Structures are given as C-alpha cells and as structure tokens.
C-alpha cells in the first residue's frame, strides 16, 4: 500500500514539474462576479499543456520513477486527458507509453494521444475492466502502471494547481473543485489546508454520477455503474483508496450540478471570457453559477480543470441561447 501524500509532497511535485508544466493564469470576470455576488478566481487549467491539469500529476509521477523504470516504460488507463498527459510526459522524459482508452472517448483525445507517440489499446467502457487490462499489460511488459487518480505522486502533482492559485490570490474563503476519482480534489484540499486555513473546500460532481457525494456523506466508498453525463472526465465509478480518506478529512461537502448547468457554464466562458472549457472543466464553476454552493460575499477559487472538447461537439452543445 502506497503512503498518502501530504502538503510536503505537493511542494516536491511543484519543484519536479517546474519547467515542464505551465503555471496557468488565474482569470477574473466582472460579469461572473456580478452574476454570483462573489469574487471568483478561475484557475485556468484549460490552458495547461495537453489542455488539462492531468499533465501535472503525470509529469510528477514519471519524474518520480527511477531511471531504469522510466526507460522500460509506463502504462495508463484513461478516459482521455490522463492519457494525453502521460503520453506527452513520457515523450518529454524519454519513457515509452502504452495507453488503455475507451472506444467511445472523444476522437480528438484518441488522436492527440497517438499524436504524442503513445501506443493506444482500446476497450469497451461499459463491458471491460480497464484496470485489469492495464495491470495485465504492466505485468507482461515490466511497465509501471500510472493510474489516473489513486496514486500519491499523481495526487501531489494535481495539487500544484491549487498551490499556484492560492499563491496568486492569497487566502480564499471557498475553493470549488470538480470531482471524478478525487486526485485533483484531494491534492487541492492538502494545499488549502496548508496555505489558506479556514478555506472551505467543495467537490463538485455531475448529478448523474454522485458516487463521491454518497461516499463522502456515508463514510464508505460507494461504487456506481458508469454514469451517463456530458462530464466525460468525471465518469468514474468510485473514489480511490488514497483519495477518499483525504477528501473525507479535509473537504467540507460534495455537491452536484446538472448537465444543463455545465452547458450554461460552457456558453458563459465562450461568450464572456473567450475561453473553451470542456464540460467536466465547468463542474466547479457551475456550482457557483447555480448556487449549489452559496458563494455570495466570498472570495472563491474555482478550478477550470480542462478544455479538451471536439469543436463540432462544442458548437452543438452551446449553439442556441445566450449566456
């Protein structure tokens, strides 16, 4: 069993990934503030390399391997952004990469992963066990398996986004973070505890896949069937053995938002801030916009986790209506 990461691990991760990952901008919007009655600080991981925060955890996890293992290579299973992240991190650090991806992943994500030089193995999201496939490939090839969230170096790497955010904004009252398997939320919560004591941290999930909320409130990890939601980066079935205890200890609550609220937020970012944010990337913002978390009068960090969405799909989703 690997040890749970702490804030010191996030600080080490920040040192390892410096020069490889971008320090992404923190953006504000007077329109968003007027709409919510809060001061919102958007951490724009849609501008991270490969278009999502996953590059942070991937880069840290690969950098933490010993040289011989890195040369043998790594394998990862992912619904998309983790795949691209490991693929690019592998190319930059000289590690051969094999990626196990769902057959129905957005074509832009599959193409980008192959474009970074990774070998892609496809599986059926609704029938196959991707973890078993990943483990078998790892054993056969002596590869290191880098999971998308439940790994100390991945959690610590993801936490560097919140570290940068709070360094840039100063103390926050609230921090809103999307929740899939909980790597980003757990890493963010470690940073909030260390850098902004008293900051309430909320996880935000799609309504259709509220396993995290049920787990958080019941104290036991709840598993669900693959949820059908626009938020493809949060179609996880359960929190991790490492992420769950950190989330239980440090997070205030987990709330949910509808797919319609995600589309509204996507439209807002496109129309008002000229940014493409993918549906999963809008979870935290949608919680502020809908009032799922009461942000009025508060200084609020909002992590926009990624921007990878097929443009045709994006146009189809936001076409019609105005923000």
Ligand X SMILES: *Cc1c(COP(=O)(O)O)cnc(C)c1O
One residue of 5, 102, 147, 180 binding ligand X per CB under 6 A: 180
C-alpha distances (whole Å) from 309 to each of 217, 222, 317 are: 32, 29, 10
Distance CA 304, CA 317 (A): 18
Q: Are 177 and 184 in contact (CB under 8 A)?
A: yes
One residue of 278, 287, 288, 317 binding ligand X per CB under 6 A: 278
- The residue (of 21 and 185) whose beta carbon lies closer to ligand X is 185
Q: Which of 79, 188, 196, 215 is catalytic?
A: 79
C-alpha distances (whole Å) from 231 to each of 119, 257, 279 are: 25, 10, 5
Among candidates 195, 213, 320, 180, which has minimal Cα distance to 260? Answer: 320
Q: Are 161 and 37 in contact (CB under 8 A)?
A: no
Strand 26-27 to 39-44 pairing: antiparallel
**CA-derived radius of gyration, the chain:** 18
Stretch that binds ligand X, among 36-44, 98-106, 130-138, 274-282 (CB under 6 A): 274-282
What residues between 5 and 34 interact with ligand X by CB under 6 A?
none
Query: Does residue number 233 form part of the binding site for ligand X (CB under 6 A)?
Result: yes
Q: Reply yes or no on whether 19 is catalytic.
A: no
Runs of H (alpha helix) within the chain: 7-17, 30-36, 54-63, 67-72, 81-93, 107-115, 130-141, 152-169, 183-195, 211-218, 243-250, 259-273, 283-290, 311-318
Q: Smallest distance, Å, CB 150 to ligand X?
A: 9
Q: Reply yes or no on whether 45 is catalytic.
A: no
Give the residue nearest to ligand X (CB): 306
Q: Reply yes or no on whether 215 is catalytic.
A: no
Query: Does residue number 160 form part of the binding site for ligand X (CB under 6 A)?
Result: no
What is the biggest distance separating any 2 CA atoms in the chain, rounded to whole angstroms?
56
Q: Which tokens in the block code for residue 231?
A: 């938020």
Q: Are 178 and 303 in contact (CB under 8 A)?
A: yes
Stretch that binds ligand X, among 86-94, 106-114, 221-229, 277-285 (CB under 6 A): 277-285
Q: Reply yes or no on whether 79 is catalytic.
A: yes
Query: Does residue number 183 form part of the binding site for ligand X (CB under 6 A)?
Result: yes
C-alpha distances (whole Å) from 172 to each of 35, 212, 267 are: 19, 24, 26
Query: Does residue number 182 form part of the binding site for ligand X (CB under 6 A)?
Result: yes
Q: Reply yes or no on whether 107 is catalytic.
A: no
Stretch that binds ligand X, among 22-30, 117-125, 127-135, 276-284 (CB under 6 A): 276-284
Q: Smallest distance, Å, CB 198 to ligand X?
A: 23
Stretch that binds ligand X, among 32-40, 233-241, 249-257, 287-295 (CB under 6 A): 233-241
Q: Reply yes or no on whether 305 is catalytic.
A: yes
Query: Does residue number 157 form part of the binding site for ligand X (CB under 6 A)?
Result: no
Query: Contact residues for ligand X (CB under 6 A)?
Result: 52, 54, 81, 148-149, 158, 178-185, 233-234, 236, 278, 280-281, 305-306
Catalytically active residues, by annotation: 54, 79, 205, 209, 211, 305
């Amino acid at each position: 069993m690997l040890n749970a990461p702490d804030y010191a691990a996030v600080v080490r991760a920040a040192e390892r990934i410096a020069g490889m990952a971008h320090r992404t901008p923190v953006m504000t919007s007077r329109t968003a503030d007027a709409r919510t009655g809060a001061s919102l600080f958007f951490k724009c991981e849609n501008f991270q390399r490969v278009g999502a925060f996953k590059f942070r955890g991937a880069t840290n996890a690969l950098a933490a391997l010993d040289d011989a293992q890195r040369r043998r290579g790594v394998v990862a299973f992912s619904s998309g952004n983790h795949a691209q992240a490991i693929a690019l991190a592998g190319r930059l650090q000289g590690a051969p990469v094999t990626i196990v991806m769902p057959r129905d992943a957005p074509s832009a994500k599959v193409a980008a992963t192959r474009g970074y030089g990774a070998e892609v193995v496809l599986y059926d999201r609704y029938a196959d066990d991707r973890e078993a496939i990943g483990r078998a490939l790892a054993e056969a090839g002596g590869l290191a398996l880098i999971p998308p969230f439940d790994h100390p170096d991945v959690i610590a790497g993801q936490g560097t986004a919140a570290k940068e955010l709070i360094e840039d904004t100063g103390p926050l009252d609230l921090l809103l973070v999307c929740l899939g398997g909980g790597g980003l939320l757990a890493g963010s919560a470690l940073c909030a505890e260390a850098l902004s004591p008293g900051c309430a941290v909320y996880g935000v999930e799609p309504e259709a896949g509220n396993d995290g909320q049920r787990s958080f409130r019941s104290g036991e990890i709840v598993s669900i069937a693959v949820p059908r939601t626009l938020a493809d980066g949060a179609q996880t079935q359960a929190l991790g053995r490492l992420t769950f205890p950190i989330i239980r200890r440090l997070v205030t609550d987990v709330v949910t938002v509808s797919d319609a609220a995600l589309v509204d937020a996507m439209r807002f970012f496109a129309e008002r801030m000229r940014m493409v944010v993918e549906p999963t990337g809008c979870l935290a913002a949608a919680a502020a916009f809908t009032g799922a978390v009461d942000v009025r009068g508060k200084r609020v960090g909002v992590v926009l986790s990624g921007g990878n969405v097929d443009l045709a799909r994006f146009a189809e989703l936001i076409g019609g209506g105005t923000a």
